[in-house]
Amino acid sequence: MLEKLFEIISPDICVVCKNQGKCLCDNCMPKVLIYKKPACVFCNELNDTGKTCNRCYKKHPIRTAKISFRYEGALKELIWAMKYENKRSHARYFAGLLMSQPGIVCFVPSDGTARRKRGYDQAEILANNYAKLHKLEFKKLLLRQTHSRQVGKNRAERLKNTKGNFVVAQNVKGLDLLLVDDVITTGATISECASVLKAAGAKSVTALAIAKA
């Protein structure tokens, strides 16, 4: 409610041409966003579908990753603002640019400290809006673990403590899941999320992201 009101007072401005309306207008969008060629998300080997290659699939249980754009230029700026400058509207904008893909929609929860500072989780907004747009079911399946303090622990305990950042919060048995994140970097985080989801009984995990760094 307040958020909507704020957006009426302060509407989005195109990051390129400064026209009012969207954070990137329909005119500028095709000029500044660079589509990403489909590839294995873990080793970047090109293919036609974004499928994870057989070698990487052995280590990372993500069947396919659908990534819209290359993480460059104006897109970086827009994503930065979405994460750190309270621009939730950017998450709604990008939800419309994620590739269409069936499945039950879930998301990679953002890091706790950063999220508390902002008061929202951009990946959640992105996933939730994507689900609404495509009339798909949205579920909050993953939770980030808060780790106990590292002080006074030996190395083995510290290592143990850094393992397992995510836990599955609901029953996922037999589900085909779409795991949404804003930007994928190395793929280690989505891989970890997919591993816990698969271990909890999920049938398949497909990753969906705006960009790959």
Binding site for Zn ion (CB under 5 A): 14, 16-17, 25, 28, 40, 42-43, 53, 56
To Zn ion, the closest distance from the beta carbon of 1 in angstroms equals 29
3-state secondary structure of 62: coil
To Zn ion, the closest distance from the beta carbon of 187 in angstroms equals 9
Rank residues 34 and 104 by Cβ distance to Zn ion and give the closer one: 34
Rank residues 17 and 213 by Cβ distance to Zn ion and give the closer one: 17
Rank residues 25 and 200 by Cβ distance to Zn ion and give the closer one: 25
In the 8-state DSSP scheme, what is residue 2?
A: H
To Zn ion, the closest distance from the beta carbon of 208 in angstroms equals 18
To Zn ion, the closest distance from the beta carbon of 60 in angstroms equals 8
Q: For residue 156, how far is the Cα from the chain centroid?
A: 31
To Zn ion, the closest distance from the beta carbon of 170 in angstroms equals 30
Nearest Cα residue to 56 out of 73, 39, 71, 74: 39
To Zn ion, the closest distance from the beta carbon of 108 in angstroms equals 20
- φ and ψ at residue 20, rounded to 5 degrees: -80, 150
Alpha-carbon distance of 18 to 120, in angstroms, equals 26
Rank residues 43 and 133 by Cβ distance to Zn ion and give the closer one: 43
Alpha-carbon distance of 42 to 212, in angstroms, equals 10
E strands, the chain, in order = 12-13, 20-21, 64-70, 104-107, 142-144, 166-168, 176-184, 204-212
**Beta carbons of 211 and 193 less than 8 angstroms apart:** no
Rank residues 14 and 65 by Cβ distance to Zn ion and give the closer one: 14
Place of tokens 């509407």: 11
Nearest Cα residue to 144 out of 118, 185, 113: 113
